[in-house]
Structure 1
Amino acid sequence: MWKTRSKLLFTAGAFISGFALIQMGMYAGQHIFGWKLDFNVFQICRSLLQNYGIGYMVDALSGLVFLTFGIAGVEAIRQCMATRAAFRRLRRMRDLPLTEALGERYRELGADRIWVIDYAKPAAFTMGLWKPRIVLSSALLSLLDKHEEEAVLYHEAYHMKHYDPLKTWLLQMCATLLFYLPVLRHITNHYKIAREILADNEAIKRTGSPMGIGSALLKLLRMTPANAHLVNFAACSSFAETSINYRISRILDPQQEPVIRLPWRSIMLSSYVLVMLTLMFALALM
């Protein structure tokens, strides 16, 4: 169920975001490069605004389109720079003997895909957009027993295998850019919950028990989260900073599925925005 829910959430977020951004791209291309395109929602909005004598809104519409792409470009560059800077810092902090030992123990996860850093606070996360890596702190490993260590590794390996830092960052950026479609924010939050539960499920499946992932999570919760200070603004999937209540509920009672309430207000508001665009489209064809 959670795998299906995760796919539906990502598909819905990608479809809504993709439709809006493609329309914006068509609008921008038509006015910058002179593309001859019909049935563009934003071009229809522009024509309607001019026809109804509120042409000053045309500049606002154009500003929204170009500002969206400008912010997207800046955010993409900032994310790439933050990720590179975080990896450089973490590379200097690596505990090579522990990294080699853990890499040998979990060889099936891939060569040089697990880094152990010399850090005084417990930390576990998966970071990287194109080639994600699992990062664990030496302080965390000193707290965990073998069963808990396996659970944390397999949890993070699920994020690494499915490129969760990249997917989550893309949804988060689209939710920020298209702020007037608030349902995207809720889709992103629910997607994060689904990915964490699926990663927990993978750890439980690989270790054969929920005890390891549960006790490791509780140990990390007692400590102050330090991941934000380690990676700054780089996209990552953190072991103990997302959807804690849902995960604890499921670990304590695997038979009880957590109930996620639909954000009806945001759905209605976003639907209203889309309906208004559709009406503008219909009026323009009359």
Structure 2
Amino acid sequence: MTKLWTRRSSAMLAVGILIAALVLSQMAMYEAHLLWGANMHRNLLDYCAGLFYRSSFLYYAIHIALNALVIYTLFRLIHTGLRQIMLDRTYGNRLSRLSAKHGADRLAVRFGHGANDLVVLEDERMVALTAGFGKPRIVLSTGLIDLLDERELQAVLAHEASHRIHRDPLKLFVLRLISDAFGYIPLTRWAYRNYSILCELTADEHAIASTGSEAGLGGAMLKMLGRARSKPMFPAAAGFADGSINYRLRQLVEPKPALPIRLDARSLAISLSVLALLLGMIVLAGT
């Protein structure tokens, strides 16, 4: 089952990145032609504008609308990206101030993890997440460590180790950036929501395989679900007790390999229409 969840989460990542690449490539070709007269053949953005007589109201209106779409998309990409990076840096500095070095060392020896991969916070809240883009680290709070027994803590560490191995914080950041900037294509939001759950299911399966039982994982979920959860400490992090925990608990009882979030017919129709236009851009640009 782990390979199934991994393949499906990879598919969600590919959907988001492919859509972003298609849109940005066509926008770049359109702007290069419009601003510098670059001979890149006609992509669909330029083709649509060219359907109307030059100097007509509709001709200028189409160009204004297309340029507005380009500006909006780039603004959302830059604004969201910079905001997330700044927040991540701010929380990273806060993490350094609250971390207990000796606690991480003891936990690493206790469970056979690398000391540099773990951070223990002096905090009473229930914190279990993996954060960081370049070198993700597992973050646990002393409140969580005191709450869980040995088997449950081992399951949580194995779960977070999966996030670290697969670099889920970075992938979630990329998909969130894409879904925010290209929100007018519903498939991007669908891919982000599905990936956020599928990566948790992959990590759960890794934890079960590592501990040899669902008991530790299920017990940790129930204990953390019973405690009030505060706002996530990191803007782009893969957390153990995230919003998908109820679905994950159902998966432990009745495994269902279907995608967690179904795309409704209206959103699918909109997405397919936009993707068809994007593919048309590629074809027309090459002619």
* TM-score > 0.5, shorter chain as reference: yes
Tell me how far 1:278 sits from its aligned partner. Answer: 6.0
Tell me how far 1:159 sits from its aligned partner. Answer: 0.7
Give 3-state SS (helix, strand or coil) of 2:146's partner.
helix
Equivalent position of 2:251 in the other structure = 250
Structure 1 pair 39/131, CA: closer, same or farther in 2 (3 Å)? farther
Supply the AA of the counterpart residue of 1:209. S
Tell me how far 1:81 sits from its aligned partner. Answer: 1.2
- Structure 2: stretches of 5+ with no match in the other structure: none
Tell me how far 1:102 sits from its aligned partner. Answer: 1.2
Equivalent position of 2:93 in the other structure = 88
Tell me how far 1:78 sits from its aligned partner. Answer: 1.6
Equivalent position of 1:186 in the other structure = 190
Contact 1:125/1:134 (8 A) holds in 2: yes
Structure 1 pair 63/57, CA: closer, same or farther in 2 (3 Å)? same
Contact 2:40/2:285 (8 A) holds in 1: no
Equivalent position of 2:50 in the other structure = 47
Quote the Cα distance in structure 2 between the aligned partners of 1:114 and 1:49: 61
What is the TM-score normalised by the length of structure 2?
A: 0.88
Contact 1:227/1:238 (8 A) holds in 2: no
Q: Determine what percentage of the aligned residue pairs are the same residue.
A: 35
Equivalent position of 1:152 in the other structure = 156
Quote the Cα distance in structure 1 between the aligned partners of 2:180 and 2:135: 24
Tell me how far 1:70 sits from its aligned partner. Answer: 2.4
- Of 116-125 and 69-78, more deviation after overlay is shown by 69-78
- Of 96-105 and 195-204, more deviation after overlay is shown by 96-105
Alignment of 1:1-286 (within 5 A): 1-32=4-35, 34-48=37-51, 53-54=57-58, 55-108=60-113, 110-228=114-232, 230-231=233-234, 234-254=235-255, 256-257=256-257, 260=260, 261-276=262-277
- Structure 1: stretches of 5+ with no match in the other structure: none
What is the TM-score normalised by the length of structure 1?
A: 0.88
Contact 2:44/2:280 (8 A) holds in 1: no
Quote the Cα distance in structure 1 between the aligned partners of 2:53 and 2:176: 34
Contact 1:249/1:258 (8 A) holds in 2: no
Supply the AA of the counterpart residue of 1:149. L
- Of 97-106 and 208-217, more deviation after overlay is shown by 97-106
Quote the Cα distance in structure 2 between the aligned partners of 1:39 and 1:163: 39
Tell me how far 1:123 sits from its aligned partner. Answer: 1.0
Quote the Cα distance in structure 1 between the aligned partners of 2:266 and 2:72: 27
- The higher relative CO (CA closer than 8 Å, separation ≥ 6) is in 2
